[in-house]
Structure 1
């Protein structure tokens, strides 16, 4: 059994077909995966689940999981980060993560607690929508990406964003959270 989560057995991952630990959090992730495919029109091979991301803050290093990234034409156009609790407290670390998952600013950032979702513009940091229906469809994401600036994130900015994400995601995590790893 991992961490403080109630393990309900095992379940099949909707995207990959892999067998994963079943928990309340995983059920929300699977619900989100199904929504991306059945309601928003993405192909399963465009959605990459359980992404590991290394973060550092000075000498402190850790690894977190980013629940989903959506890739179209070889670029990440959207990331989705699940965590229970308040959505507004998830905005800043998710925006920081969107500057670290690729060498460019990822255009669309979605934060969800499984019951609701906020959609953020990665560049302006503004909330562009609320609710699962606001998550861009495949066609909408294609249009967003066509107008996105995929310029590299400056190295200094990436280092600062890594510190921000580290503080929220690792320093602020429950000591028994098995989705993060302190190195």
Structure 2
């Protein structure tokens, strides 16, 4: 997924701060507005562009995650990734990200292109629902999370998930990124 700067700025819906306008930022902003205004998510529980840092063969990489939703204790409970392309192609990467999150794994994740979506059980990798109606409202999410079983990864599982995630990031996210990309990518580079 290649995200480039459009040379301007816009006001971030969640923070109110001026941020760089990119090719995907308007979609992110619309999704943030949907979460808060229509789905009832508390604005202060949502963080945007959370960096998922991981290591492969001694090299450090970072993949920005579009939205992470946290509970009252500050634990991540829901991950949302925006994708440009077939949502199904990004399901495995999204599950891996949910498993590798600091403070996680998260119980649930959603991948969306803002037209359709897949709600994923991070523990099993199973698609629980599809379509934009798959995005749970706040109360439903809290109910789902309260019933979920979340087991931390063993070191061996983390290593395997990291390698799978890195493969997806390199193929679907990182390969097109070059000096023009506005987001950090492989090796922590970026503008």
- Number of corresponding residues: 181
Give, in whole Å, the separation in 1 of the partners of 2:157 and 2:184. 23
Q: Does residue 48 of the first structure (1) align with residue 47 of the second (2)? A: yes
Match of 1:175 among 156, 177, 187: 177
Q: Secondary structure at the match of 1:69?
A: strand
1:37 corresponds in structure 2 to: 36
Does the aligned pair in 2 maintain the 1:47–1:69 contact within 8 Å? Answer: yes
Q: Does residue 11 of the first structure (1) align with residue 10 of the second (2)? A: yes
> Residue 28 of structure 1: CA displacement?
0.4
Q: Secondary structure at the match of 1:38?
A: helix
> Residue 6 of structure 1: CA displacement?
5.5
2:156 corresponds in structure 1 to: 156
Give, in whole Å, the separation in 2 of the partners of 1:165 and 1:19. 31
Choose 163-172 or 30-39, whichever is displaced more.
163-172
Does the aligned pair in 1 maintain the 2:95–2:125 contact within 8 Å? Answer: yes
Q: Provide Cα deviations, 1:66-121, integer angstroms capped at 9, x if missing partner.
A: 01001112221100011211111101111111111134421111111232211111
Change in CA separation of 1:40 and 1:170 when aligned onto 2, cut-off 3 Å: same
> Residue 23 of structure 1: CA displacement?
2.8
Q: Secondary structure at the match of 1:11?
A: strand
After superposing on structure 2, the runs of 4+ consecutive aligned residues of structure 1 that deviate more than 4 Å are none
Q: RMSD value over aligned CA atoms?
A: 1.8
TM-score by length of 1: 0.90
2:143 corresponds in structure 1 to: 143
Give, in whole Å, the separation in 2 of the partners of 1:36 and 1:166. 28
Change in CA separation of 1:150 and 1:126 when aligned onto 2, cut-off 3 Å: closer
> Residue 169 of structure 1: CA displacement?
1.1
Does the aligned pair in 2 maintain the 1:50–1:67 contact within 8 Å? Answer: yes
Q: Provide Cα deviations, 1:38-59, integer angstroms capped at 9, x if missing partner.
A: 1111110010111011122223
Give, in whole Å, the separation in 2 of the partners of 1:142 and 1:61. 33
Q: Secondary structure at the match of 1:85?
A: coil
5+ long unaligned stretches in structure 1: none
1:121 corresponds in structure 2 to: 121
> Residue 132 of structure 1: CA displacement?
2.1
